[in-house]
Chains A and B, each alone.
Chain A
Amino acid sequence: MHSDTPRAPWGLKLAAGAGLVFMIAPLLLIFVYAFTTEERTYQWPPPGLTLNWFAVTWGRADVWEALTLSVQVATVSTIIALILGTLCAAAVSGSRFFGREVISLLVILPIALPGIITGLALRSAFGMTDIPFSFWTIVVGHATFCVVTVYNNAVARFRRTSGSLIEASMDLGADQFQTFRHVILPNIGTALLAGGMLAFALSFDEVIVTTFTAGQQQTLPIWMLEELVRPRQRPVTNVVALIVVLVTTIPILLAFYLTRDGDQIAGSGK
């Protein structure tokens, strides 16, 4: 089946190749700039290479504080998203009822609408109800748009998990809670893990909604944004950018690895 795949015309290869370079090259550039000796400009090619900026960044309290807040927000948001997304997916998959589409729409809406609308909506709601900005106002925003990644992964896995497995488990003497523990959880576990990692990456990186719900607090993306608008120490920004790339890339690669079987099944089925 693989051997009869026709060869692509060279024009298509060229266009696709150029497109991929356009997609990947800018990210690779970040890796080079983290080591440049140039301090004041974005000079290319770098006049020299050094590891010095990693040490400087390591010593920066503001970076550590922003990173800590981001990790805490992402962790709590991911946990909430895991609970809400799994509940929603289980309800939608377990039965056919009026309004299923409405629920899917409701889950997707926070990520489909421009972030600025979600952010402004939450800020004006906090304002109207006199809720002060805090760690939890950030989490509320993040969890809201993170539900969709867990939901999508879980729904897809529920769809592949035959409904008769649950019936078989009950038939063999497991009540609903035992069935959840012994059959449902082991079957959707990796999908939840993948969804959770994507939610973490999404939250860790979010800036638009956060600018509206953070008040004076600084998450790492807000720290980055400040540096982008008013650059103070470019080499530190370069290093932080590299770290952010790594921190978001690893969960994505893991999520890809965890769900790849399903993708291959889906791919070979066509």
Chain B
Amino acid sequence: MSTTDDAFTEQRHGALTALSDLFWRRPKLLVLLLLAPPLLWLGVIYVGALLALLLQSFYAIDEFTGLVDYDVLTLKTYRELFNPANLDIIIRTVLMATTVTLASAIIAFPIAYMAARYARGKWKAMFYLAVMLPLWSSYLVKIYAWKLILAKEGILNWLFAQLHLTGLLEAYLGLPVVGGGSLSISYTGTFLVFVYVWMPFMILPTQAALERVPVNLTDASSDLGATPWQTFRHVTFPLALPGIIAGSIFTFSLTLGDYIIPQIIGSSRLFIGQAVYAHQGTAGNIPLAAAFSVVPIVIMGLYLWMAQRKGAFDAL
């Protein structure tokens, strides 16, 4: 062992040691220095940009020149949002987001339940990857895959033909609203792609919530004479609900803001995202685009507020 010197403190010098001593004496200084770069980046660049966007929505296009009038702050652009045509876009988008969210919740639940409750070891890893791969693989490739599937000469029509069900598909496409010339230019097509693309965002939180439900709770319920369905309705489902709501926040918000999916697969009628894109681009109406982009923020704010009032976050 090393020989002990009699001095209690060790003498050590150098710039780094001096800096280290300073951080030890002033731990808050270290935290501040660590936080400064990310806070500057996110706070100044990102939040600054968001505020700039918000500010834009309070300007309006001058009707004579067609240019943005930067001298007057006005609510005129927000009034424009309530034109029948624009209101139509908002309602259409919200309805689509709602149906996509409900469908995702229904399809996601069995997968999440299976992964949380029954899958073990290798199977558990398989389930995890089966959810993570589509989640992380390219958004555009996923849309492209559905363009291939839904094409007139594609695999879905081929399948219906093989099963001699082409008539059924045509009858469905003849229906109002959900139908259309073909699947790839109908609301049904848009809906399918939305559900597909956002599904993992529903599965993961639902699975996490289900994994937090103690197994002995469901055992206790069946010990008390509940049928599996009663156990599910009164024990499992209420406990999984916070996870489903967390997932719905993603599916709802992502559908509200998307502009690429309805542009590639769907009818030519606009969604909020497309309206934003069109107004800021070719139309050059940045104030209206900004006002349109405030809509999803307000709707999500209301959504989160309601979820919180229902006590959905307490269990999270």
Contacts and interface: CB of A to CB of B under 8 A. Distances in A.
Report if A and B touch in the complex (beta carbons < 8 A).
Answer: yes
Nearest to A2: B120
Contacts of B48: 125
Contacts, number: 260
A2 B138 contact: no
B129 interface: yes
B142 interface: yes
A24 B297 contact: no
A148 B35 CA distance: 14
Interface stretch (A8-16, A58-66, A187-195): A8-16
Interface in B24-57: 24, 27-28, 30-31, 34-35, 37-39, 41-43, 45-50, 52-53, 56
B154 interface: yes
Nearest to A270: B211
B283 interface: no
Given A144-B46, A175-B16, A26 B142 contact: yes
A61 B25 CA distance: 58
Contact of B290 (A30, A107, A120): A120
Contacts of B38: 84-85, 87-88, 103, 107, 147
Contacts of A33: 148
A26 B139 CA distance: 12
Interface in B117-143: 117-118, 120-121, 124-125, 127-134, 136-143
Nearest to A96: B31
Q: Which of B118, B124, B253 has the most CB of A within 10 A?
A: B118
Nearest to A175: B20
Contacts of B56: 124
Interface in A1-47: 2, 5-9, 12-13, 15-16, 19-20, 22-24, 26-27, 29-30, 33, 41-45
Contact count band on A:
35 or more
A140 interface: yes
A121 interface: yes
- The B contact surface, by secondary structure, is helix
B111 A19 contact: yes
Contacts of A253: 129
Contact of A41 (B125, B133, B153, B290): B153
A29 B139 contact: no
Contacts of A106: 39, 42-43, 46-47
B141 A117 contact: no
Interface of A: 2, 5-9, 12-13, 15-16, 19-20, 22-24, 26-27, 29-30, 33, 41-45, 80, 83-85, 87-88, 90-91, 94-95, 97, 103, 106-107, 109-110, 112-118, 120-125, 127-128, 140, 143-144, 147, 170, 173, 175-177, 198, 201-202, 205, 207-208, 211, 221, 224-225, 228-229, 237, 241, 244-245, 248-249, 252-253, 256, 260, 263, 267, 270
7 contacts: A24-B133, A113-B253, A117-B50, A124-B56, A207-B140, A229-B263, A252-B137
Given A97-B28, A106-B46, A120-B293, 7 more contacts: A26-B145, A27-B133, A84-B37, A117-B53, A125-B49, A177-B19, A241-B138
